[in-house]
Structure 1
Amino acid sequence: MKNWFYIVFFVAVFGNFSGFSQDDLKLIALDTTTTKINPLAPAKAAFYSALLPGLGQAYNKKYWKVPIVVAAIGTGIYAYTWNKKKYNEYRDAYKERLLLGTQSTDAYNNQNTGGVYLSEAKLIDAQRQFQRQKDLSLLVTVALYILNIVDANVDGHLRQFNVNGKLTVRPDIYKSDTDYTQNLGVTLNYNF
């Protein structure tokens, strides 16, 4: 029952446009003499991007995307290594505190915090904070890496898409010849 409703609705809405002719509704075939389609090009671009981020974009001849991809993934890797380093510093200070006791003078506290003594709770909180930031930066870096591969694949598909001036779809407002009212329609033109 629903399918009939959709068919009747489609015919009622789109069937009344008198702006279409049989020539306008012909199926458009891709001219194989001018455009050679390589069905493996998108997969090859994705593979290159998986090997080295940005290489798939270079394969697709979108050279302006390469520095963006490299900077995005490089920033994620830098954030991960910096957070890992800070996490390890706070973890080592906490281990030293547990090993030597609370009466010890921590070399970490004197060098990195300007001589301010950090309690065990502050060291634990700092470890948790940098652990969270390290995990988040790793997650963002992996997401950017996957986005790099998907971008190369989609761009490889769109490179082969036929976009030229011969095929146009545009809305059109035209005046009816019988009662001179304005009608709204869509025209599909294909020029040979």
Structure 2
Amino acid sequence: MHKLLGVFFLVWFSLQVNAQDSLAVVQDTAKTHSWKRAALFSAVIPGSGQIYNHIAMPKGKKKAYWKVPLIYAGLGATTYFVVKNNILKNDFRSEYESRKIGNAPSNFLEYDDQSLLTLYTTHRNKRDFAILGLGLVYLLNIVDAAVEAHFVNFDISEDLSLSIHPTMYNSSSYGVSFQFKFR
């Protein structure tokens, strides 16, 4: 009986210690929501920083997850344009090089050599702009996650107000007055 009671207290004590340790971990993570971690998550897997911020937000304010489909749509669209314009650029270049070594036109019969060079340059520039767009979407994903992480615990109270009123300083001077109230 004493051994069974001893095992019971040992298990009960270890469960109490584990519960306190896990409670301390939960309290620490709630206090230390890091913008660096959100930015790192979004840099590794785009959109994961927004999910990280969404999970950390208080119950009534959870609104960060809706940006993830937009991020992937932006990344997908810009990647599509990069690939499409790169393929067209390579096709125009190979056709031009094929004509220069004496082969008959095969793919682009309606274009002469100068038109092929112009189309090559146009699609190369479009590809380069699409690469810049891809980088911009990726960078905006990271910046959005970092900025939103700053607002996870941001409190907007009902006691804040701004009043704008027209004001007359004298008979010939008019203006606008702003009044901020913090309660």
Which residue number corresponds to residue 105 of structure 1? 104
For the structure 1 residues 37 and 164, does the alpha-carbon distance in structure 2 shift closer, same or farther, using more than 3 Å as the test?
farther
Aligned-partner SS, 1:143:
helix
Bigger RCO of structures 1 and 2 (CA < 8 A, at least 6 apart): 1
- Which whole-Å CA distance do the structure 2 matches of 1:129 and 1:187 have between them? 54
Q: In the alignment, which of 44, 47, 63 is matched to residue 54 of structure 1? A: 47
Moved over 3 A (4+): none
> How is 1:102-141 mapped onto 2 (pairs within 5 angstroms)?
104-109=103-108, 116-141=109-134
Which residue number corresponds to residue 87 of structure 1? 89
TM-score (norm 2): 0.67
TM-score (norm 1): 0.64
1:143 and 2:142 aligned: no
After superposition, what is the alpha-carbon deviation per residue over 1:100-147, rounded to whole angstroms, capped at 9, x for unaligned?
x2xx432212xxxxxx33211011001000000000000111011111
Which residue number corresponds to residue 5 of structure 2? none
Which residue number corresponds to residue 64 of structure 1? 66
From the two aligned structures, give the one with the greater helix fraction: 2
> Which sections of structure 2, spanning at least 5 residues, go unmatched?
1-29, 55-63, 166-176
1:96 and 2:93 aligned: no
Which residue number corresponds to residue 150 of structure 2? 157
Q: CA deviation at 1:55?
A: 1.0
- Which whole-Å CA distance do the structure 2 matches of 1:189 and 1:53 have between them? 38
What is the number of equivalent residue pairs in this alignment?
135
1:171 and 2:163 aligned: yes
Percent pairwise identity: 28
Aligned-partner SS, 1:159:
coil
CA contact (8 A) 1:172 1:187 kept: no
